[in-house]
Amino acid sequence: MPAAILDGAAYAAEIRTEVTRQVAWFNAHHGTIKLCAVLVGSDAGGRLYAESQRKLSVQVGVQYELVELPEATTQTELLAAIDRLNADARVTGIILQLPLPPHIDPATAQYGIDPYKDVEGVSPANIGWLFYDNPIIVPCTALAVAELIGRSGVVVRGAHAVVVGQSRVVGRPITMALLTQMATVTGCHAATQDLAAYTRRADILVVAIGQPRAIGVDHVRPGAVVIDVGINRVVEHDAQDQEVRRTVGDVDFGSVAQIARAITPVPGGVGPLTVAMLLRNTAEAARKQLQRRV
Amino acid sequence: MPAAILDGAAYAAEIRTEVTRQVAWFNAHHGTIKLCAVLVGSDAGGRLYAESQRKLSVQVGVQYELVELPEATTQTELLAAIDRLNADARVTGIILQLPLPPHIDPATAQYGIDPYKDVEGVSPANIGWLFYDNPIIVPCTALAVAELIGRSGVVVRGAHAVVVGQSRVVGRPITMALLTQMATVTGCHAATQDLAAYTRRADILVVAIGQPRAIGVDHVRPGAVVIDVGINRVVEHDAQDQEVRRTVGDVDFGSVAQIARAITPVPGGVGPLTVAMLLRNTAEAARKQLQRRV
């Protein structure tokens, strides 16, 4: 029986509806929710991405401001700019657009963001709180993955989850989030030997390696829940030898969907849900700022 | 061939010698290294533990002060007391003794410690920096475990490490530290089903569950490196039916030592090395405060 398709785009729409309600309530009772994105250097891709963030933010009632700083901004100057946003009570959320210029350490800059305003949940402080089962703001991708696993109906507690890819802001937070949910979790990465021997044992398989269709049917146990975090643009040739541009995941969807219990498509899976989780975090951050614990 | 015994007590002595040199250098060039331990409530065990810390600190040339606060101290008052120590340039290291009274959240209190003075490496901020491969101060137990694994001669990169027990300050930081060293890591805990099926696959097996001799020869792959973090006091009866008090680990040392490649004894393994790592962190913290990045 082919897999259930975990429709991230549809779940994202549900979450945006819920967030719109939350934002309206907050705006009515506590002033405006305002998200500031900081972009260092005039990166065209970064500005395009910011425009898409602005559109999505405004849709749910969140004010959005792009703060552009010159490429030559020093780390100290960036931290000072972030501190001004931290201190500004009208700003309830801060995003630092990546990549930063090479002379700035991303984690140090992210650590400068007030953990209550860090709506992406990527500051080392927020990552550490996740470790302690007491998160302020959880990384958006980890939230999206957890939501998709939940929607698959699999019981996480006691399941064996295998997370392939251990990047700092995606694979590792997902690994930790699954551990805090009491899955037995195996973290795999580029140095793992005989990857398929691990992935074939997974009840829940999460892949975040950025390699188009690298995980095939030989890597997956029949009946597993497969969450594909990868978003890869590929150019392929069709039967008429025409170039076709496609967006594909890290998982070979066509074959794996034949044996999995549930699977996320790419596009339309983890991607849109991650964006929706950023908006949910933005509403959550504003609400939590009313009752700070640190 | 029986296992090599990883002599934590001997390695700890080496590290104390090295730390004594570092502290003498620092004291000569940059003023005194001073460690403040904060004890909330008049717990006899806590004071006894502090006395042992004082003795070990003084041995390596570190000044030690115990700051005792009444049981009724509120979380806000504790955070204010910690802030005074953060601001005091003469204090280079801060330890918060656990357990705290139930009205205080340990992670929130630890988060109040300047990450550069958090010599135990347990603040959420420091845990998060570990995640980002850029730690300021690493949790002492994770350092001790990493040192013992290193001394066993096993190659961590690409090895399969299984960490049994996922507590916030021991199992999880060890799991993350091994992932950053590019081991394939499986985290197991109370909800893991068929534990032995996981542990028998481990090249490196780390056990931190606090259950006397729970891991036996059936759990261990011949040739594995076994690190026993458990310290359990048990009362047993000898052949003459006399009560005997013993300190034993989470691993059944007698049988597992027959098949492992290397194993830590209890006592004399992870325990003394963890204390030595606290002293090393204390020297490191003082040194790093000379060149802060945040």
Res. B42 pLDDT band, cuts 50 70 90: confident
Q: What is the pLDDT of residue B112?
A: 96
Number of domains in chain A: 2
Residue of B nearest to A180 (CA): B166
Average pLDDT of the residues in A267-278: 97
Residue A290 lies in a domain: no
Same domain assignment for residues A184 and A260: yes
Contact assignment for B128 to A123 by CB distance below 8 Å = yes
Nearest by CB to B294, from A111, A172, A187: name it: A111
CATH assignment of the domain containing B106 = 3.40.50.10860
Same domain assignment for residues B151 and B264: yes
Residue B121 lies in a domain: no
Instruction: Give Cα A48 to chain centroid, integer Å.
Output: 18
CATH assignment of the domain containing A154 = 3.40.50.720
Q: What is the pLDDT of residue B46?
A: 84
Same domain assignment for residues B146 and B240: yes
Same domain assignment for residues A197 and A145: yes
Q: What is the pLDDT of residue A44?
A: 83
pLDDT score of B38 more than 70: yes
Which residues on adjacent β-strands are paired with residue A233?
A: A247
Six-digit token pair at A212? 């188009």
Q: What is the pLDDT of residue A292?
A: 84
Contact assignment for A128 to B132 by CB distance below 8 Å = no
pLDDT score of A294 more than 80: no
Same domain assignment for residues B177 and B211: yes
Range list of H helices, A88-228: 106-111, 124-131, 140-152, 171-180, 195-199
Residue A227 lies in a domain: yes
Question: How many CB pairs below 8 A link A and B?
Answer: 121
Residues of A in contact with B184 (CB under 8 A): 186-189, 191-193, 198
How far apart, in whole angstroms, are the C-alpha atoms of residue B69 and residue B103? 14
Same domain assignment for residues B102 and B176: no
Contact assignment for B134 to A107 by CB distance below 8 Å = yes
pLDDT score of B288 more than 90: yes
Same domain assignment for residues B156 and B265: yes
The rounded mean pLDDT for chain A is 96
Q: What is the pLDDT of residues B108-129, one digit of tens each?
A: 999 999 999 999 999 999 999 9
Task: Write out the residue range of the structural domain in which residue A75 sits.
Answer: 30-117
The rounded mean pLDDT for chain B is 96
Residue of A nearest to B292 (CA): A108
Residue B256 lies in a domain: yes
Residues of B in contact with A124 (CB under 8 A): 125, 128-129, 131-132
Residues of B in contact with A157 (CB under 8 A): 191
pLDDT score of A74 more than 80: yes
Q: What is the pLDDT of residues B183-198, one digit of tens each?
A: 999 999 999 999 999 9
Instruction: Give A44 or B188, the one with higher predicted confidence.
Output: B188
How far apart, in whole angstroms, are the C-alpha atoms of residue B125 and residue A15? 30
Q: What is the pLDDT of residue B97?
A: 94
Angle value at C-alpha A93, between A90 and A94, nearest 5 degrees: 115
- Taking CB atoms within 8 Å and a gap of at least 24, the contacts of B135-139 are B136/B288, B136/B294, B137/B281, B137/B284, B137/B285, B137/B288, B138/B173, B138/B177, B138/B281, B139/B169, B139/B170, B139/B173
Q: What is the pLDDT of residues B150-182, one digit of tens each?
A: 999 999 999 999 999 999 989 999 999 999 999
Numbered residues of chain B with Cβ closer than 8 Å to any chain A Cβ: 105, 107-108, 111-112, 123-129, 131-134, 157-158, 166, 168, 172-173, 175-176, 179, 182-193, 198, 293-294
Residues of A in contact with B133 (CB under 8 A): 168
How far apart, in whole angstroms, are the C-alpha atoms of residue B183 and residue B141? 18
Residues of A in contact with B109 (CB under 8 A): none
> Residues near A102 by Cβ (< 8 Å), separated by ≥ 6?
none
Average pLDDT of the residues in B243-253: 96
Same domain assignment for residues B149 and B88: no
Please give the backbone phi and psi of residue A29, each rounded to the nearest 5 degrees, phi first.
Answer: -105, -25
Same domain assignment for residues A181 and A242: yes
Residue of B179, B198, B199 to mutate, testing the A interface (most A Cβ within 10 Å of its Cβ) = B179
Contact assignment for B124 to A125 by CB distance below 8 Å = yes
How far apart, in whole angstroms, are the C-alpha atoms of residue B205 and residue B197? 13
Average pLDDT of the residues in A88-114: 95
Per DSSP (E only), the strands in B15-104 are 34-40, 63-69, 93-96
Same domain assignment for residues A181 and A243: yes
Contact assignment for B293 to A108 by CB distance below 8 Å = yes
Buried b / exposed e across B130-159, counting CB within 10 Å, b at 16+? bbbebbbbbbbbbbbbbbbbebbebebeeb
Residues of A in contact with B128 (CB under 8 A): 111, 123-129, 131
Q: What is the pLDDT of residue B294?
A: 66
How far apart, in whole angstroms, are the C-alpha atoms of residue B82 and residue B288? 19
Same domain assignment for residues B105 and B61: yes
Residue B289 lies in a domain: no
Handedness of CA A54, A55, A57, A63 (dihedral sign): positive
Kindly tell me the burial class for residue B283, based on how many C-beta atoms sit within 10 Å of its own C-beta (0-12, 13-18, 19 or more): buried
3-state secondary structure of B128: helix
